[in-house]
Amino acid sequence: MRKVLILNGPNLNMLGKRPKEHYGTLTLAEINQRLMEANEGYFDLEFFQSNSEGELITRLQQSMDYFGILINPASYTHTSIGIRDALEMCNGIKLEIHLSKVDEREAFRRVNLIRDICEKCFQGKHENSYLEALNYLKEIVKNS
Ligand code: DQA
Q: What is the pLDDT of residues 108-117, one digit of tens each?
A: 999 999 999 9
Q: What is the pLDDT of residues 1-28, one digit of tens each?
A: 999 999 999 999 999 999 999 999 999 9
Ligand 1: does its nearest atom lie under 6 Å from the Cβ of 125?
no
What is the 98 CA–ligand 1 centroid distance (Å)? 6
- Told to judge if 42 belongs to the known catalytic residues of this protein, a careful annotator would answer no
Ligand 1: does its nearest atom lie under 6 Å from the Cβ of 72?
yes
Low-confidence ranges of the chain (pLDDT < 70): none
How confident is the model at residue 24, as a pLDDT? 96
As a whole number of angstroms, the distance between CA 83 and CA 61 comes to 10
